[in-house]
Amino acid sequence: MKEKKIYETLGLYVHIPFCRHKCAYCDFYSTDRQGDDGKSDEMKQYCKALRYHLRMVSDKVSDYNIDSVFIGGGTPTALCPKLLLSVVNEIKDDYYESENMEFTVEMNPATSDYKTLRRLRRAGVNRISIGLQSADEAELRALGRIHTKEEFEESFLQARDAGFDNINIDVMFGIPGQTESSLLETLSYAVSLSPEHISLYNLILEEGTPLWRKRAQLALPSENEEYGMYEAAIAYLADNGYAQYEISNFARPGFECRHNLRYWHSEEYLGFGPGAHSYFAARRFGIVKDTAQYIEIMKGKPKQLPADMLSENEHIDRRGALIEYIMLRLRLCEGIDPADFKARFGGDFEAVFGKKCELYIKHGFMKHENGRYALTPKGMFVSNTILASLLPGSADAAKKGSPAR
């Protein structure tokens, strides 16, 4: 990657829309490629299109240093090593790299090996995110995962041997048949491997997924049981050195995911590939979820993304920025600093939101510590409900005070 002393920073997200087998709960944009060897003609054409897209944009952001890259999916390791590395190398060749850049690749234990991991590490990837989800075989089958606990462990140890000293493990709760005890057993197993980061996601039955279609037959934990799992998990991880810094994320000191923090701090990032989203120059825009169309458009070597490739293209005005600030900051354990709010928006956070916050504090859903307002674990578990209550008042806050209005 190029080196240049630049002061603006930017994140890159690159989407790989292929899976060896799509999980029963997943509604991310991807296509099932059972039996594929990772080097089909479609995959070759897709990576060629992706590389052109990366080159096309690089000149437009030459004044930025890239401080985080995240290659996700889908399953990036569903690509053969040669194709995946061609994308990694394109990024390294085309963009200016900030010091200590975080470069993450997601992987499924069933689609990785030591040789691939070693090549990724040598190419400059320095963080791996591995999907475990559960250490219980029955729970893995309920989710439609294609790996076993043993295959996960082999992948984790291979990543360590390949030189990765920053590894995330994904875990889920609320799985059909799962109990608080089985979740804690999974977390105990994950902690025993000493990863630097653990992500803990609540299973959501997304409409249209296989799990959603058979929801009436699933032995799902109740909402109270799910909250018990969440609360127990937070305590267990804290006791073992993993501090919660966001609703679903826990890390050892210094290993918080920089790329995800960009999202939650409303910092700029660019997305590449169908289904990817961007926030840049006060605009949010997304690329349509159509791999064939994406490939065809890039064959024409456009100078910019044509309008019909955008699924959304929205200017974020001051009111929109304020709403997003509240939504994203309340995902973080650091919460909202009224002084920072005033510096950004010119309004008085406590004058607009103070009464509602005090009500949530009284009932244990929020806390007010060191001058900041933040959700408690109880509040994080029902954060969508709290945000729906708070955000109607954001229109009033948007009217208060900024000379930029």
Residue 401 has pLDDT above 60, yes or no: no
Q: Is residue 226 part of a domain?
A: yes
Task: Please tell me whether residues 344 and 225 are part of one structural domain.
Answer: no
- Tell me: the pLDDT tens digits for 264-309? 999 999 999 999 999 999 999 999 999 999 999 999 999 999 999 9
pLDDT at residue 36, as a whole number? 72
Last residue of a domain, one of 263, 282, 310: 263
| CATH number for 244 | 3.20.20.70
- In the Cβ-directed half-sphere of 229, how many Cα atoms lie within 13 Å? 28
What does the H/E/C string look like for 307-326?
Answer: HHHEEEEEECCHHHHHHHHH
pLDDT at residue 34, as a whole number? 67
| CATH number for 343 | 1.10.10.920
What range does the domain containing 325 cover?
318-398
Task: Please tell me whether residues 57 and 184 are part of one structural domain.
Answer: yes
C-beta contacts of 217-222 below 8 A and 24+ residues apart:
218/142, 218/176, 219/176, 219/177, 220/174, 220/176, 221/174, 221/178, 221/179
Q: Contact 70/259 with Cβ under 8 angstroms?
A: yes
Q: How far is CA 97 from CA 8, 11, 63, 124, in A?
A: 11, 10, 11, 11
C-alpha span between 390 and 349 (Å, rounded): 11
Crossing angle of the two packed helices 223-239 and 180-192, in degrees rounded to 10:
30
Task: Please tell me whether residues 207 and 330 are part of one structural domain.
Answer: no
Q: Is residue 309 part of a domain?
A: no
The residue whose two tokens read 């060749």 is: 93
pLDDT at residue 39, as a whole number? 85
**Residues belonging to the chain:** 405
- Tell me: the pLDDT tens digits for 126-148? 999 999 999 999 999 999 999 99
Task: Please tell me whether residues 254 and 362 are part of one structural domain.
Answer: no
Last residue of a domain, one of 263, 280, 306: 263
Task: Please tell me whether residues 15 and 88 are part of one structural domain.
Answer: yes
CB within 8 Å of 281: residues ≥ 6 apart: 268
Last residue of a domain, one of 245, 263, 281: 263
Q: Is residue 347 part of a domain?
A: yes
Task: Please tell me whether residues 362 and 250 are part of one structural domain.
Answer: no
- Tell me: the pLDDT tens digits for 83-142? 999 999 999 999 998 889 999 999 999 998 999 999 999 999 999 999 999 999 999 999
Task: Please tell me whether residues 25 and 141 are part of one structural domain.
Answer: yes
Q: Contact 374/334 with Cβ under 8 angstroms?
A: yes
Q: Is residue 404 part of a domain?
A: no
Alpha carbon 87 to its chain centroid, in Å, reads 19
Q: Where are the beta strands (DSSP E) in 229-309?
A: 243-246, 249-251, 269-272, 277-280, 283-287
Task: Please tell me whether residues 178 and 75 are part of one structural domain.
Answer: yes
Task: Please tell me whether residues 254 and 332 are part of one structural domain.
Answer: no
Task: Please tell me whether residues 72 and 142 are part of one structural domain.
Answer: yes
pLDDT at residue 6, as a whole number? 52
Q: Contact 336/329 with Cβ under 8 angstroms?
A: yes
- Tell me: the pLDDT tens digits for 227-278? 999 999 999 999 999 999 999 999 999 999 999 999 999 999 999 999 999 9
Q: How many domains does the chain have?
A: 2
Average pLDDT, integer, range 210-215: 92
Task: Please tell me whether residues 219 and 76 are part of one structural domain.
Answer: yes
